[in-house]
Amino acid sequence: NKGKYEHYMQKEIHEQPESLTTTMRGRLIRGGSCKAKSVLLGGIKDHLKTIRRSRRIVFIGCGTSYNAALASRPILEELCGIPVTMEIASDLLDRLGPIYREDTVVFVSQSGETADTLLALEYALENGALCVGITNTVGSAIARNTHCGVHINAGCEIGVASTKAYTSQIVVMVMLALAIGDDTISNQTRRESIIDGLFELPSKVREVLKLDQEMKDLAKELMSEQSLLVFGRGYNYATALEGALKVKEVALMHSEGILAGEMKHGPLALVDENLPIVVIATHDACFSKQQSVIQQLHARKGRLIVMCSKGEASLVCPGGSCRVIEVPQVVDCIQPVVNIVPLQGHFLKTSGDLRKKIKHSDESESRECGR
């Protein structure tokens, strides 16, 4: 039932404060006078020792699920100190890339049934790795065939373009990083501040959803363009890739997510006063580097739309020289959850073609339900 929404995708975007709450339910421990704040993931608690001993963590997924893993990679590296590598399922299979017994391989999939991800799981099992699933669908092939895992519990996702599963996947992988890194005392303060951030995340997502009208207006302006670039880095490199993927899928428009650190190694050649460019520049350790990217884009007269933390418009856009999207700030590693929301579905309303596509998907391509 779509309720007051025109499409399942819209409904699922607006459901995110609730789906994130369900994802975290029973898994965050508030702590107390003598007990530290912590995370309990029932599905992997008996495997944590093995995971901590592994030589490498390999994330495998496709599309949006791959992007969610990419968003979580930095915090996993930071809290666990284990090298993390990224694999798009089909590419790993094309190369038959090395997977070892000492690896922990994490399979990320909303449906739990994606063919390439399943083939990669078979391949990793043959190679003797510990296989962990992160899926929305209880009883799916990935949930059944992995050694252990975590259900994201985001509720059924029906829209073909993944939205609430993406944000719940990131939250589960941040919780995974907290659980694996739980044996390191030196990270305790950092871990507790992330847990505090997770508690307040649903209300921050509710707040960012209020940008609805502003984003619709922007989308209307951009709909007639040929292309849209999205620059991000660090925690928000994934936001750039996922934002561009949503624009492609939903607006049927060319869009490219670009690692901001690579800008001067080619992409700068594309910049002129016509091509719209979204720059993700919320406040984190990469902020000053993003400020200098914005200056360079400015120098090329780039048509900029900058996403920044609330109250920081003047830091990213001196003299009001560009368009700004101000979003609530949260702890750096979960900022991608907030930042993706304005890019998820606003190009939808103005596209007749998409309406057809979404309608078709609602009727005949519905994905299987999570719970």
Tell me the closest approach of the beta carbon of residue 35 to ligand UD1, in angstroms.
Answer: 19
Q: Is residue 162 involved in binding ligand F6R (CB under 6 A)? A: yes
Q: Is residue 255 involved in binding ligand F6R (CB under 6 A)? A: no
Closest CA to 286 of 338, 229, 231, 326: 231
User: Which of 13, 51, 150, 240: binder of ligand UD1 (CB under 6 A)?
Assistant: 150
Tell me the closest approach of the beta carbon of residue 143 to ligand UD1, in angstroms.
Answer: 4
> Which residue has 């100190």 as its token pair?
81
From ligand UD1, ligand F6R, none, which one binds at residue 37 (CB under 5 to 8 Å depending on kind)?
none
SS3 for 36-73, per residue?
CCEECCCCCHHHHHHHHHCCEEEEEECHHHHHHHHHHH
From ligand UD1, ligand F6R, none, which one binds at residue 222 (CB under 5 to 8 Å depending on kind)?
none
From ligand UD1, ligand F6R, none, which one binds at residue 42 (CB under 5 to 8 Å depending on kind)?
ligand UD1
Angle value at C-alpha 264, between 261 and 265, nearest 5 degrees: 90
Phi-psi region of 60 (alpha: psi -120 to 50; beta: other; left: phi over 0): beta
User: Which of 110, 153, 236, 290: binder of ligand F6R (CB under 6 A)?
Assistant: 110
Tell me the closest approach of the beta carbon of residue 237 to ligand F6R, in angstroms.
Answer: 17
Q: Is residue 211 involved in binding ligand UD1 (CB under 6 A)? A: no
**Site stretch for ligand F6R (CB under 6 A), options 110-118, 213-221, 254-262, 279-287:** 110-118
Where would I find the beta strands (DSSP E) of the chain? 28-29, 38-39, 56-61, 84-88, 103-109, 130-135, 148-151, 227-232, 254-259, 276-281, 303-309, 323-327
Angle value at C-alpha 281, between 278 and 287, nearest 5 degrees: 150
Task: Specify the 3-state DSSP secondary structure of 280.
Answer: strand
Q: Is residue 143 involved in binding ligand UD1 (CB under 6 A)? A: yes
Q: Is residue 128 involved in binding ligand UD1 (CB under 6 A)? A: no
Distance of CA 112 to the CA centre of its chain: 17
- Distance linking the first and last C-alpha atoms of the chain: 15
User: Which of 17, 43, 61, 328: binder of ligand UD1 (CB under 6 A)?
Assistant: 43
Tokens linked to 305: 């739309």
**Site stretch for ligand UD1 (CB under 6 A), options 76-84, 135-143, 209-217, 264-272:** 135-143
Q: Is residue 22 involved in binding ligand F6R (CB under 6 A)? A: no
Q: Is residue 64 involved in binding ligand F6R (CB under 6 A)? A: yes
User: Which of 72, 104, 114, 239: binder of ligand F6R (CB under 6 A)?
Assistant: 114
Tell me the closest approach of the beta carbon of residue 341 to ligand UD1, in angstroms.
Answer: 25
Which residues of this protein are in contact with ligand F6R, per CB under 6 A?
62-65, 109-111, 114, 117, 161-162, 245, 249
